[in-house]
Chain A
Amino acid sequence: MKKSLVIKLHIYAGIFTSFYLLVFGFSTIILNHDILLRNDIVTKQWDAEIIIDTTLTDRQFAENIRDQIGFMGWVPPWKYQRNASSFKFEIVRIGKNYELSVNLQNGSVEIFEIPGGFLDVFNGLHFFNGNIPNAPFFVRTWQVYQWLSLFIMGLSLILGIWLWLKYSYRPWQGFVFGSLFIVTIIIMILI
């Protein structure tokens, strides 16, 4: 294969994956140091009205309210709190959480919004696969982008190594980075 073609392909692949690499790099450091990026500050509060269906289980009820209000996110069961007059639960997703308190007598819902902010979303893209309940098609396309980014990253890596081995390889580099490769594998086996 011609060198110029391989360089071009390596560059195209690299540019395509560069945003994903930034996300991965950033979130790797954040996770490794357990840095908390999300706060618990409520920035917005408003009320809504819903129709109460008394035949539903708690989970179905929480999902039903989420759908009636038109939010996207999961409704974790361990956050449900029910008593005779109210039902409280949370809707969680990358970038935003909502705390909801439903008045079971009249169907009014108090909604508290807790945003994550840019860094939380940027970090969260590491785990995000586009599949959030009620997410629009646009958000779901992230799983295609994620798959392509990983595949093209692998391709770019292979092309880059090929270029290195063929055109700029030095024995000391092979020794240093080969040793580091082996040491890393040994550490992975030991942990």
Chain B
Amino acid sequence: MKPKFNFYYFIKKIHLFASLAILALLIMYLTTSFMMIYHDYFKVTKKEDSVAVAVMSEQLSEANWPSFLDQHKIHGRLVNEYLDRKGNLIRRYEKVGHATEVIIFKENGSVQINRKEFNLAGKIIGLHRIRGYGGKIQYNIYAVLLDITGISLILFAITGVILWLKLLKHNKIAWMILILGFLYVSSIIGYLIFI
């Protein structure tokens, strides 16, 4: 006999698996959110240094650029590349807790490397802020995990409400929390849109 499909069981499993799949990220987001709220206790500081590097033009070729980055210990992925007003090429690299700006001067082809290294609080909070695809494989895996997190949070909320309706449909406290929460959030959204 074909087993009967149990909708409640199915939704319960989605709810559970959606939360377990992103548990590490949820813990990180909750922790870093509180660190940002209490920023006076978790002060973000950074060490900055700047070095000028004399280079041969072939070192700056696309083919040799990765070895230039390795040689000068420039970590992370390229997040921005542009020409400044003077025509100098600026490349910015970011890794959690590190930010490096490489300036390739138009005039003489010399290079300046400006580094920032954040303290532990800055590194942990950096995890909250890093996002998007691009760069080495670990950044792309993280971006996939962020997409899974986004979808899971939405599923988590929707399945949670479905489970509640099944379990405690007539519970007045639960209804009160839902209605007051909805009224409050929609009032804030409405105010910010229309006022």
Contacts and interface: CB of A to CB of B under 8 A. Distances in A.
Interface residues of B, number: 60
Residues of B contacting A: mostly: helix
Contacts of A150: 30, 33-34, 37
Interface of B: 16-17, 19-21, 23-30, 33-34, 37, 95-96, 127, 130-133, 138-139, 141-143, 145-147, 149-154, 156-157, 160-161, 163-164, 167-168, 171, 173-174, 177-178, 181-182, 184-185, 187-189, 191-193
Given A15-B161, A122-B189, A147-B37, A184 B24 contact: yes
Contacts of A157: 19, 23, 26-27, 30
Contacts of B174: 11-12, 15
Counting from the closest, the 10 A-B pairs by CB-CB distance are A25-B153, A28-B150, A95-B192, A29-B150, A25-B154, A184-B24, A177-B20, A21-B157, A190-B138, A18-B157
Given A122-B189, A138-B191, A188-B142, A21 B16 contact: no
Interface of A: 7-8, 11-12, 14-19, 21-22, 24-29, 31-34, 93-96, 115-118, 121-122, 124-125, 129, 138-139, 142, 145-147, 150, 153-154, 157, 160-161, 164, 168, 173, 177, 180-181, 184-185, 187-188, 190-191
Contacts, number: 155
A22 B157 contact: yes
B131 A188 contact: no
